[in-house]
Amino acid sequence: MKKLLSLTFTLFLLTTTLKAQLPDQIQVIDPPFWWTEMPVTELQLQLYGDDLGLYRASTDYPGVKITKQYAVDSPNYLFIYFDISDEAQAGKMEIVLTHHNKEIVFDYELKTRESTEGRNQGFDPSDVIYLMMPDRFANGDLSNDSIEGMLESADRSDPQRRQGGDIQGVIDNLDYIQNLGMTAIWFTPMFENDMSPEYGAYHGYAATDLYKVDRRYGTNELYKELVSKVQDRGMKVIMDMIHNHIGDKHWWMKDLPTNDWVFDYQEVGQTNHRGVVASDPYASNYDSTKLTDGWFVPEMPDLNQDNDLLADYLIQNTLWWIEYSGIDGIRMDTYVYPDKDYMARWAKEVLAAYPNFNIVGEAWVENVPAEAFWQFDQEGVDDGYQSHLPSLTDFQFAFAIREAFNEDFGWETGLSKLYYMLSQDFLYSDPMGNVIFLDNHDMSRYFEHIGKDEDHFKMAYAFLMTTRGIPQVYYGTELMMAHENRGGDDEAWRQTMPGGWPDDDRNVFTEEGRTDKENEIHDYITKLTQWRKDAIATHEGELVHFIPENNTYVYFRVHDEQTIMVAMNANENAVSLDRDRFAEILDEFELGLNVMSGNEINLSEDIGIEGNTALIWELE
């Protein structure tokens, strides 16, 4: 009996101690912890719990002082701002909340920063980015397909539902990605998306908690392990973020901090999806407001970044993920939809804190000027807007290359589309920083789009690997994937990778599991992508191109250490190219070495090229 009483008393003390550390009144603390010696000294702490807005905070922690604190429209939030000086040491910072004679005491952890070596590296034109949707890539942990209490479980019978891919599935197949020649991986968002099954939030763009990895993918710790494992291979990770909207099941939506935290759907409705409005000098207030304040879809409440507390929260969330996980870059979703001054502030503050970092913004607009508007140091912008954004998703590239091999050749059609697209690069402050692609998770797959023409597919990939910019390759491209595997709206181009699930009847991650045709294209893409890793001319070389003639297009990448020549012939029949037309470059060289076959050509003679072929030579 005495032992039982002793055990009971011990449990009572343990419970009391735990409650002192995590008081019942505090349901959410964002961010969950922070670090000393951060590149920014300000920390915003968002506390949520019953009537916390009535309390005021204090701390005696050395090197830390509270600079301001806010109660807001909801009585259940308290926002506390701290200044954390260089003198502050890692440890448990005791924070005391008081309201009349009530007191809440809890510890908040300040951690020691990890070494920056091999982390936060950025990405640039020397990289090739592999884009994947984790839910559709590989299922390495069947135990997290269904999580008790979450609204949706994996359902392989329905392509519009979650399929069960996860972080472990990616880790298991890192050899496959690296062997392709990819140097960076962009994952569509892995934030918690605890949305209703009928919505299909497997895509990750309807976040319900911005500080948590979705448990059906894994844990925050496993995500960090994934980043570390990728970086240990000399590769990089790009995190997909969304600051325009959240999911309607986000925990905020049950009790918004302020009345203007999100825009009122009944008042503004859905966005017009016309990104060009943001840069239109003649745009009406109606159209501008509709773009920025309207909800992306009814299930995605639009965040109001004009709210200073929310803006600080989002910026700090970004810094937290960069510091916690070590990611090398961010792809910001729907970049043109939020308040553009907020986006400029966000980019500026992130890059000031992490100077080696890189950010690519999704600017899905209809023309080159509207795209170029969003890049840093843009000249000729009447309103003086400075975005601070280094990189853009180059949709103009994607539009041009998707038309170039779907049209007959003409003055403005076919291969001419590539020439005209590139000829407008003077509008960009840094066209080399653009992320270029054939397709992505929001577009029909390229092979399907061009009518499953294998020769044109290879030509397009050769162009992607040799022209200016940072190439991005959508998962499955290496298999010349079309829309056969699974179908249904967007899911037609968001297939699962065969072999990524234990019950699949074949495994495309192995040579034996691929068809002969898949192995042929896999080998082509691997060889070309691996070659590009060391081809400095494709990273830094000046682009010199010649006006397309007779359904051919010739261009060079010229660098002090390497010059390459690319010749594209989209005719059915072979052609001979007049070498004298390219003499300004060819006169310096004698031979051209075909990077794929190893064959040499004599550069003093006219150049023959087979039909529907793109050839790449290193000039010697």
Known catalytic residues are 333, 362
In Å, how far are 140, 147, 436 from 444, measured between CA atoms?
27, 32, 16
Nearest to 594 by CA among 563, 561, 571, 619: 619
Nearest to 362 by CA among 291, 492, 292, 275: 275
Q: Would you state the structure tokens that stand for residue 615, as one six-digit string? A: 């050839």
Q: Which residues of 245-260 are buried (b: 16+ CB within 10 A; e: fewer)?
A: bbbbbbebeeebbeee
Q: Helix count (H) and strand count (E) of the chain? A: 17, 26
Tell me the angle at which helices 454-466 and 395-404 cross, rounded to the nearest 10 degrees: 150
What residues have CB less than 8 Å from 84, skipping those under 6 apart? Answer: 34, 36, 38, 41, 42, 43, 63, 64, 110
CB distance 69 to 57 below 8 Å: yes
Tell me how far the alpha carbon of residue 490 is from its chain's centroid.
18
Nearest to 559 by CA among 595, 588, 530, 602: 588
How far apart (Å, rounded) are the C-alpha atoms in residues 404 and 396?
Answer: 12
How far apart (Å, rounded) are the C-alpha atoms in residues 467 and 447?
Answer: 20
Length of the chain: 620
What residues have CB less than 8 Å from 365, skipping those under 6 apart? Answer: 275, 276, 279, 336, 371, 395
Q: Which residues of 514-542 are buried (b: 16+ CB within 10 A; e: fewer)?
A: beeebeebbebbeebbebbeebbbbbbbe
CB distance 609 to 597 below 8 Å: no
